[in-house]
Each structure stands twice: as structure tokens, then as C-alpha cells.
Structure 1
């Protein structure tokens, strides 16, 4: 399937810092991504080149829904103390300060996730380390429109 890229502007925002393990109250001091990466590797997705945390990007006023992500893994039992979760991933490209970074949209399915939910205008991105990126910084995302649909919700 050919990828049909669409571009959307976004702003980096603070997340829960559980994915990276930076939250002092996190049940996963090493971070949930570090705990999950070997499970994803065994299922055929290598995330070892990415920062072990997520880049949270608001694309408001747009919202998104998954259509047909590149990868979907069902019932991943990555944490022995929680229920198994479903995860989906879709390739993306982050452009920050004129530099492009290939990444993945990381989507832990909310119906199987125990806590730390994102709204549907926030994308969680796995990307290589991005120098000098901070909360509030603007960036551009290229998203595969065959896998993720963006829409504008009137209030």
C-alpha cells in the first residue's frame, strides 16, 4: 500500500512522564516504553532507535482516529501486574527546526489501558532523541492518511 502523507502542525505538550519513567510517582521507574520494547521486538517491531519515552503533540483543533495502523499487537502482557494491553503503531515524520525525524505514532488502546489516557487531539510519538525540543515548541507531523484520519470537530 502506498503511503499518502498529510501534514499537520502540532505543539509539544507535557505528558504523564510514565512512558519515560521521569514521573517520580510512576509504577515503572525505568519507564513503560523500556519495559515494552522487548515485547514489541518479539512481535516484529524494533523501537531500539527511539528515545524511550513519548513526545506528546497536540494537533488541536484537529482530532484523530485510527483507521488501519501499520502494526497492531493484541493482548501484550508487558507488565505482570496489569492486564494485557493492545497497541497500534503508524509511521510518521516529525520536522523540528528544519530537521526531519522518522518516528512512530504510539497508540496504547484506551479500552485496554488501565490509566494515563490522552485526549483524541494528542498524538504520542516515538522518535529518536530530538535536541533542544521543549514543551510549547511548534513542529510539523507528516502522517499516513491511510492509517490515521484527522478531522475537525465543531463544538
Structure 2
């Protein structure tokens, strides 16, 4: 059976750089993704082949809502100094330079996240390292319509 996708165009935007550990003031110098990877792996999701950071893509004027994510992990205590968080992941594809790359929407639930929030038009994507990316660049995403809703504000 062929996967049906929602295709959306977004703009690569600069995030908080905490996921990758590149933020100068980050309390997590190795990055949150690298710290969280073993916890997700223990729960059945291996993200170790992806870049240890997120690709932030703003899809404005659209917003999104995950309603049936492929994975949801509740009360993940990945850091001794923060409360447990809930994370969801939804399959996606990143289309860059005419090539499709497998990815996952990485969604730390805001109601359990202590700080570094994204707006509801910015998707955080886990995928392999991609060359020739720039902030402000347009990029295509294929999103799974059985897991996410895309709508106008």
C-alpha cells in the first residue's frame, strides 16, 4: 500500500539550539536530543541515525496538531534536574534538493515541557544531517495525514 502524504512548504528557522547543544547558554552542552536518545531507544524508538538536533520548519500561515502520533512516551524522566516530559513522534519526509529523507516530527508536549517552547506553526524535525541548509530557505515536508492535522489559523 502506498503512503499518502500531506505536502507542505515551510521555511527553515533558527530554534533555541538547545536540542543540538549549540546554544551558548544551554544547560545541556551535549544537547537534549543526544541525552534523550537512550531513553527513547529503551521505549522502542531508535533515533540514533538522525542528526542530534532538530530542523525547525515554520509552516505559517498553517498551524498543526498531532492527533494520532506514531509514538507517544509519557512521563519520560530524561534529566535529573527537570520534571518528566511527554514526547510524541510522527513519521514524515523532508524533501531537500529533490531528494526525500525519512524523518520524524519531534514534539515535546508543551504542557510537560519546562521551557524553550515553539509556536504552533513550527515543526521540529529529526532527520539525517543535510548539506546546504540555510535559515530562511524554503523546504518541503511530507506529513502523515493519519497522524497530524494542518489548518489555517
Q: TM-score, normalised by structure 1?
A: 0.96
Counterpart of 1:27 in structure 2 is: 27
Q: Secondary structure at the match of 1:139?
A: strand
Is structure 2 residue 136 aligned with structure 1 residue 136? yes
Counterpart of 1:115 in structure 2 is: 115
- Distance in 1 (CA, whole Å) between partners of 2:2 and 2:124 is 23
Q: Secondary structure at the match of 1:25?
A: coil
Q: Secondary structure at the match of 1:33?
A: helix
Q: Give the Å deviation of 1:3.
A: 4.5
Q: Give the Å deviation of 1:140.
A: 0.4
Q: Give the Å deviation of 1:127.
A: 0.4
Is structure 2 residue 13 aligned with structure 1 residue 36? no
Q: Give the Å deviation of 1:4.
A: 3.2
Structure 1 unaligned spans of 5+: none
Counterpart of 1:126 in structure 2 is: 126
Gap change, CA 1:39 and 1:2, over 3 Å in 2: farther
Q: CA RMSD in A?
A: 1.2
Counterpart of 1:91 in structure 2 is: 91
Counterpart of 1:72 in structure 2 is: 72
Q: Secondary structure at the match of 2:56?
A: strand
Q: TM-score, normalised by structure 2?
A: 0.98
Q: Secondary structure at the match of 1:37?
A: helix
Instruction: Give deviations 1:33-89, integer Å, cap 9, x for gaps.
Output: 000000000000000110000000000000001110000000000000000000000
CA contact (8 A) 1:3 1:145 kept: no
Counterpart of 1:82 in structure 2 is: 82
Instruction: Give deviations 1:107-131, integer Å, cap 9, x for gaps.
Output: 0000000000000000000000001
